[in-house]
């Protein structure tokens, strides 16, 4: 389980190498052909496709920006890259919004649109204000297609460390730098908690998710595109603090999951959930526990020992490597760098 050989790793890469159809359908034909020609061994690792007017076409994979030419081949010299045109951006935006911008005005106000498959497209351009509030974004100049990657089973080994001997879930905080796999891991934890498991054996829990940025469930038109378990309810595109309070009152969850807490009101809502006897699984940005404790609001929660387990992720040697697991009640490290498989857990 923990180790893997190069042959199996290569087979896994090749089986995942086909670019998702819903991603290709979000691109105009000329860009679609370029992306389809990405080297097969690299395709499975692509996390982002970046389009910026009059600038090189880029993908982000394996912790680096990669430039592509007209044939989809990797080039070191950015001047040899395919240069994205205003027409490329315009056509891609029309495909992403299904030629119905007004129907997506609420999402545009948040700076992104979720497409079929749960992939999120970040949008940059000229912001139009209505008073002090964002009304919409016009004159689109950049698109960032973030590829949603669900990897079933990546939390299986971790579950042994976040369940008690009586198979009760322990409130868990996942800490990692950006793009280190924390949302992917969180999603799989939620799936396992919802469905239940054979090893470790436990029946599933009622799980509710506040998915403020539509990254956990990846809802498209209200329907989760990712497998988050059959006992899971989702509040999509809902602010965390308000969503947590709504779920406490209406859905009788045993566990609440959410992503990237940080604001004071988030912390207060988490405390309310815990006071109601509800366990919480969530994430926070940070290189390590020390960095997170420098943030006053999070530090207060940690001092109260609200989180019984703290999982630290790193992107070395690969995205999704578990660096350590900490017992939140004693601050003792209970596992170090054992679950980080060679290809990463995420």
**Range of the structural domain that residue 240 is part of:** 159-336
Mean pLDDT by 10 residues, the chain (346 residues): 41 49 93 91 90 97 93 94 98 89 78 91 93 88 93 95 95 93 95 96 97 93 94 96 97 97 93 96 94 90 93 87 93 78 46
Question: Which residues, at least 6 apart from 278, have a Cβ–Cβ distance to it below 8 Å?
Answer: 248, 253, 254, 255, 256
Q: Which of 93, 111, 146 is the last residue of a domain?
A: 146
State how far the Cα of 50 lies from the Cα of 30, in Å rounded to an integer. 15
State how far the Cα of 16 lies from the Cα of 46, in Å rounded to an integer. 11
* 182 and 129 assigned to the same domain: no
* 278 and 214 assigned to the same domain: yes
**Predicted local confidence at residue 19, as pLDDT:** 61
0.85 cut: is pTM over it? no
**Predicted local confidence at residue 131, as pLDDT:** 87
**Predicted local confidence at residue 7, as pLDDT:** 44
* 106 and 171 assigned to the same domain: no
Write out the two tokens for 230.
């059959």
State how far the Cα of 114 lies from the Cα of 306, in Å rounded to an integer. 33
* 237 and 301 assigned to the same domain: yes
């Amino acid at each position: 389980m923990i180790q893997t050989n190069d042959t199996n790793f290569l087979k896994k890469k090749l089986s995942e190498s086909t670019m998702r159809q819903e991603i290709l359908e979000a691109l105009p034909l000329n860009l679609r052909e370029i992306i389809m020609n990405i080297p097969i061994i690299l395709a499975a690792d692509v996390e982002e496709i970046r389009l910026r007017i009059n600038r090189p076409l880029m993908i982000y994979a394996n912790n680096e920006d990669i430039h592509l030419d007209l044939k989809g081949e990797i080039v070191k010299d950015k001047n040899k890259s395919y240069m994205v045109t205003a027409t490329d951006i315009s056509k891609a935006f029309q495909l992403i919004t299904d030629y119905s911008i007004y129907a997506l005005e609420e999402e545009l106000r948040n700076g992104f649109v979720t497409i079929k498959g749960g992939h999120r497209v970040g949008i940059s351009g000229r912001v139009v204000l209505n008073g002090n509030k964002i009304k919409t974004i016009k004159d689109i100049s950049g698109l960032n297609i973030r590829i949603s990657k669900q990897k079933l089973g990546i939390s299986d080994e971790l579950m042994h460390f976040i369940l008690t001997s009586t198979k009760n879930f322990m409130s868990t905080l996942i800490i990692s730098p950006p793009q280190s796999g924390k949302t992917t891991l969180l999603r799989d934890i939620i799936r396992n908690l919802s469905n239940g498991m054979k090893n470790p054996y436990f029946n599933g829990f009622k799980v509710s998710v506040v998915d403020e940025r539509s990254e956990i469930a990846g809802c498209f038109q209200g329907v989760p595109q990712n497998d988050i378990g059959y006992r899971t309810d989702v509040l999509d595109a809902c602010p965390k603090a308000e969503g947590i309070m709504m779920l406490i009152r209406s859905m009788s969850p045993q566990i609440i999951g959410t992503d990237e807490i940080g604001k004071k009101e988030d912390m207060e809502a988490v405390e309310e959930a815990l006071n109601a006897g509800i366990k919480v699984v969530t994430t926070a940005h940070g290189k390590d526990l020390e960095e997170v404790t420098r943030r006053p609001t999070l530090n207060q929660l940690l001092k109260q020992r609200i989180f019984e387990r703290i999982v630290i992720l790193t992107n070395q040697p690969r995205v999704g490597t578990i660096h350590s697991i900490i017992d939140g009640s004693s601050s003792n490290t209970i596992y170090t760098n054992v679950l980080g498989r060679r290809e990463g857990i995420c």
